[in-house]
């Protein structure tokens, strides 16, 4: 990587090969990141869509189906299939909105919270290990790169989740 400073700005120039290696690293890292939860969910006949739904319902209890649709970027039909399974299995419950009775607010049940903790702990362990190996500056840089790659709508959802965690 070559870095040039011009007029107080620091510009980063990457070759196509360096960018390609970054893309490939992201693909392989994602495989590792999802491998542990995939193994946990495999015996339950759940997939990544179930995992994502459980994760984001757990992160924002009481969120609406429409908010979850926006975060996940899936069709209503696809999300309804996932939610129906999770509700039938006693992991998620939908409550009618107090202000707008047409809204359904989603919550994890105790059983759902237990599964969410199991799934997220597997991923947190992998992230902790990688963060320790990379060091604090690399962690900050990695987060900046990920945030810069997000579409504006996803960045807003991400910022809202970060705010809620503080």
> CATH number of the domain that 65 lies in?
1.10.10.10
Residues 6+ apart with CB under 8 A from 127: 33
Can you point out the beta strands (E) in 7-142?
A: 9-13, 63-64, 92-96, 104-108
101 belongs to a structural domain:
yes
88 belongs to a structural domain:
yes
Asked if 115 and 57 touch (Cβ cutoff 8 Å), the reply is no
7 belongs to a structural domain:
no
3 belongs to a structural domain:
no
Q: Which domain holds residue 63?
A: 16-134
Q: Is the pTM of this model over 0.85?
A: no
120 belongs to a structural domain:
yes
pLDDT tens for the 166 residues of the chain, in order: 444 444 444 557 788 888 899 999 999 999 999 999 999 999 898 999 999 999 999 999 999 999 999 999 999 999 999 999 999 999 999 998 888 888 899 999 999 999 999 999 999 999 999 999 999 999 999 999 999 999 988 888 888 877 765 5
158 belongs to a structural domain:
no
Instruction: Please count the structural domains in the chain.
Output: 1
80 belongs to a structural domain:
yes
Quick one: CA dihedral 126, 48, 150, 21, positive or negative? positive
164 belongs to a structural domain:
no
């Amino acid at each position: 990587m070559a870095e040039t400073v011009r007029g107080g700005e620091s510009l980063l120039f990457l070759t196509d090969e360096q960018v390609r290696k970054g893309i490939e690293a992201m693909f392989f890292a994602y495989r590792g990141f999802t491998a542990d939860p995939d193994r946990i969910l495999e015996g339950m006949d759940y997939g990544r869509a179930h995992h994502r739904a459980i994760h984001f319902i757990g992160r924002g209890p009481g969120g609406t189906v429409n908010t979850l649709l926006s975060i996940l970027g899936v069709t209503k039909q696809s999300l309804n299939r996932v939610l129906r399974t999770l509700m039938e299995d006693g992991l998620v419950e939908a409550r009618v909105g107090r202000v707008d009775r047409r809204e359904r607010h989603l919550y994890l049940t105790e059983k759902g919270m237990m599964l969410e903790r199991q799934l997220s702990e597997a991923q947190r362990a992998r992230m902790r290990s990688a963060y320790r190996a990379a060091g604090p500056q690399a962690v900050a840089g990695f987060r900046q790169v990920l945030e810069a790659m997000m579409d504006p709508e996803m960045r807003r959802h991400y910022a809202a989740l970060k705010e809620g965690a503080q």
